[in-house]
Amino acid sequence: MEHPLFANQFLQRRQFPSDGMLAATLTRLATNPGLQQLGRQTDSIFQDSEMLKNGLEGMFKHIRYNFPDFRVPPVKTFVSGLSQDMFVNDSLMVLGLDFFVGDKAKYRPNVPEYILRRYRPEYVLPTAALAISSKYNKKELTNQTMLGEMVQYGKSLYFAERVLPCTADSLLIGYTDKELQGVYFNEGKIWAHFLDKKLLYNTAPFTVQKYVGERPNIPEIDKTCPGRIGAWVGWQIVRKYMAEHPNVTLAQLMADKNPQHILTESHYRPRPRRAER
């Protein structure tokens, strides 16, 4: 096997009775006419491989600056047949680029439109950064509150912001420009909803997911309020905390398991404002 790490970790080689069975499965995929067409489209969109390579190298450089123990994994690109968009661990990164071809692809991931719009070329690096953030993003495993989940997501977004410093907020959070302008302008109203409804310390998983999970919108706040608004608010809390504590490193932030400490020390007080960046 020419690429044993890729075969063992991403393709899960052990699930196949033999290497021959794995090879036969890959051959069926590679000779599928529809997948061949998708492969050609993927090659066309990502034909400037140096651009992707330079973007990854820049991201890895920022990660290593903040986390000297970070070991850059080998990176493989793959036309997965829309089976998996990304795989990241300490020893391997696989980018399923066929997920990120965009609107012109003959075949696209079978997900709702509000998620589908994040499967475009410009989202490869933000998706990778958010995936890597999980390695460093520590949390308490008990007593999961709304605030805890909000800050947890906020730390991931802040991590991505720091390692991709020239990336627009809209690409990091996956909102349209109009949605982002709306949430910045209505930040006070959004925060008031969390306080008025006493949501911050709610531990009901269904309620928590309504505000931090994938949804097209959150009508409980407003029909124009985009999903995952809790993650966005958590991001603003973390940003304010880091602005208030310039000596706190990114590594220290990611290791902080106490969301109440981050909220209290952030002195977070939203005000209506224009969209940033």
* 9 compared with 242, residue with greater pLDDT: 242
Residue 140 lies in a domain: no
Give me the helix-helix angle, 259-266 and 146-163, nearest 10°: 70
**Both 116 and 156 in a single domain?**
no
- DSSP labels for 94-136? EEEGGGGS-TT-SS--SS-HHHHTT-SGGGHHHHHHHHHHTTT
Question: Per the structure block, which two tokens stand in for 116?
Answer: 């589908």
The count of domains in the chain is 2
C-alpha span between 81 and 215 (Å, rounded)? 25
Residue 134 lies in a domain: no
Question: Per the structure block, which two tokens stand in for 192?
Answer: 């008031």
Residue 65 lies in a domain: yes
**Both 55 and 156 in a single domain?**
no
Question: Per the structure block, which two tokens stand in for 97?
Answer: 């680029």
**Both 88 and 185 in a single domain?**
no
Number of H helices and E strands in the chain, helices first, is 14, 5
In the block, residue with structure tokens 């309020």: 225
**Both 164 and 99 in a single domain?**
no
The pLDDT of residue 1 is: 47
Look at residues 105, 120, 135 and tell me which one is the last residue of a structural domain. 120
Residue 126 lies in a domain: no
Closest among 171, 197, 191 to 240, alpha carbons compared:
191
**Both 38 and 106 in a single domain?**
yes
C-alpha span between 106 and 45 (Å, rounded)? 13
Residue 276 lies in a domain: no
Neighbouring C-beta atoms of residue 104, cutoff 10 Å: 9
Residue 133 lies in a domain: no
* 191 compared with 8, residue with greater pLDDT: 191
**Both 52 and 157 in a single domain?**
no
Give 37's pLDDT tier (boundaries 50, 70, 90): confident
**Both 158 and 223 in a single domain?**
yes
**Both 57 and 163 in a single domain?**
no
What are the Cα distances from residue 20, in Å, to 1, 13, 123, 203, 274?
A: 10, 11, 35, 49, 58
- Domain residues for 47? 4-120
Question: Per the structure block, which two tokens stand in for 117?
Answer: 């719009």
Residue 136 lies in a domain: no
**Both 200 and 246 in a single domain?**
yes
C-alpha span between 56 and 58 (Å, rounded)? 5
**Both 69 and 175 in a single domain?**
no
Residue 176 confidence (pLDDT) above 80:
yes
pLDDT digits over 22-35, tens only? 556 666 666 777 78
* 178 compared with 273, residue with greater pLDDT: 178
When the pLDDT of each residue in the chain is averaged and rounded to a whole number, the result is 90
Residue 78 confidence (pLDDT) above 90:
no
Q: Which range has the worst mean pLDDT, 156-165, 185-194, 263-272?
A: 263-272
17-23 mean pLDDT:
57
Give 104's pLDDT tier (boundaries 50, 70, 90): confident
| pTM score, whole prediction | 0.89
The pLDDT of residue 275 is: 47
237-263 mean pLDDT:
98
**Both 76 and 154 in a single domain?**
no
* 106 compared with 177, residue with greater pLDDT: 177
**Both 21 and 107 in a single domain?**
yes
Question: Per the structure block, which two tokens stand in for 82?
Answer: 């829309």
Name the burial class of residue 77, with classes exposed (0-12), middle (13-18) and buried (19+) by CB atoms within 10 angstroms of its CB.
middle
Residue 114 lies in a domain: yes
* 23 compared with 13, residue with greater pLDDT: 23
